[in-house]
Chains A and B, each alone.
Chain A
Amino acid sequence: MNHFFTVEGILYFGAISLSIIGLFGLLVSKNLFRLLLSLVLFEAGANLVLVLSGFIRNGIAPIFLDGNSGAVMNDPVPQALVLTAIVIGVGVQALALSLIFRVKKHYGSMDMRTIRSKLEREIAENAGVTPPGSNEAPAPVKLIEGENS
């Protein structure tokens, strides 16, 4: 606990909290666009954890200048990995957005529950079976057992 109130401790707290907030949004949000925003947050938290793993207290940036030949430098490998991860992240984000466009175009809604019920109905229609009753519909009335006998 005595290590918590240092730069690394606070940043680890921030990075883990950011990932957790993003994951929470991924799990509970009902709107597709907010799902995408949560994905962005989650990715940012993961990047921060990676950069932190290469951080050295009193280290300098990994660039050779005239006067810094003796100083300890930060680890350059995680920085290079995060550099590419951020660029890939924006590509993934654009891809997800284009898929959201198509879903909105097809189902006319951004709500996960609406899309799910429409999707189930569509699958049932294409398979030629009667769609299962939705949750909102009242339960089918059971015949009284003594009636037929």
Chain B
Amino acid sequence: MTKYSALLFISGLVFLLMVITGLLPIFSDSHTPMLVGKAILEGAKDQVGAANVVTSVVLGYRGLDTLGELSILFAAASVVGLVLTKSSFNKAASANNDKHDHHDSGFVAVNAIDLIFPLLLVVGMYIITHGHLTPGGGFQGGVVLAVAFSMLVIVRPRRASINHGMVSIIESFAGVSFILIGVIALFKGQSFLQPLLSHGEFGSLWSAGTLPLLYLAVGLKVGAELAGLLLALNSDEVVD
């Protein structure tokens, strides 16, 4: 019965979406960007100075949006830690957990992660620092860093371990520096998170003012948060 009503609902929704899609202006050849997009494309080169316009939007025109996004991610990571803490389970479960010993993964996984770990670090930092020139940036590079560190811990839980205090220090340092850069712009009489410093030579690594610094902060924060989240998901006892 639920299945049939769901099918009915969904067929109505399909009809509605198809009709709406047919009315969109995208199917005509003279389709141009929306007004905001057009204005940003025209002004981004002079106002922000980053070659990658998406980076200009993420950190320049919509920097406040990115700050909100970072806080949502922070809230999600905190709640995962809160939900999965050992003290909230009962005592018997945590005593059981201590007896549960962790084994290293197999030969292939251990050696592969030893090989690719430094490469992953280099790739992650490259993606973060070149975010204003090429596709990529703090989010993608941060994810690569987080996966590199947490894979190291997941594959060989005995030898490698991540200091949770260190992770939270990096995370809060990155978050505070992101906000500080925004506040410094306020003190200079500009808008919050407006890019500062000189634009430099267009297309070189040292260009676009404070955007690379902001992306570095975003990358460190996303990396630290996601690594902590993965380890919190992995490190608890097996639910049976």
Contact = CB atoms under 8 A, between A and B. Distances in A.
Chain A in direct contact with chain B (Cβ < 8 angstroms): yes
Interface of A: 3, 6, 8-9, 12, 16, 19-20, 23-24, 27-28, 52-57, 61-66, 72-80, 83-84, 87-88, 90-92, 94-95, 97-99, 101-102, 104-105
Given A12-B21, A88-B72, A101-B236, A75 B37 contact: yes
A77 B37 contact: yes
Contact of A87 (B37, B73, B93, B135): B73
Given A8-B27, A28-B2, A64-B203, A72 B32 contact: yes
Nearest to A104: B239
A53 B69 contact: no
A91 B226 CA distance: 8
Interface of B: 2-3, 6-7, 9-10, 13-14, 17-18, 21, 24, 26-27, 29, 31-34, 36-37, 40-41, 44-45, 51-54, 56-58, 62, 65-66, 69, 72-73, 76-77, 79-80, 83-84, 89, 93, 134-135, 139, 143, 202-203, 222, 226, 229-230, 232-233, 236, 239
Contacts of A6: 27
Contacts of B83: 95, 98-99, 101-102
Given A84-B58, A99-B83, A77 B10 contact: no
Contact of A83 (B26, B37, B41, B54): B54
A91 B72 contact: yes
A112 to B, nearest CB: 10
B6 A24 contact: yes
Given A9-B27, A91-B73, A98-B83, 17 more contacts: A16-B17, A23-B13, A27-B9, A55-B26, A62-B54, A64-B45, A64-B203, A66-B203, A74-B33, A84-B139, A87-B73, A87-B222, A95-B79, A98-B84, A98-B233, A101-B236, A105-B93
Contacts of A54: 33-34, 37
Given A24-B6, A91-B229, A73 B73 contact: no
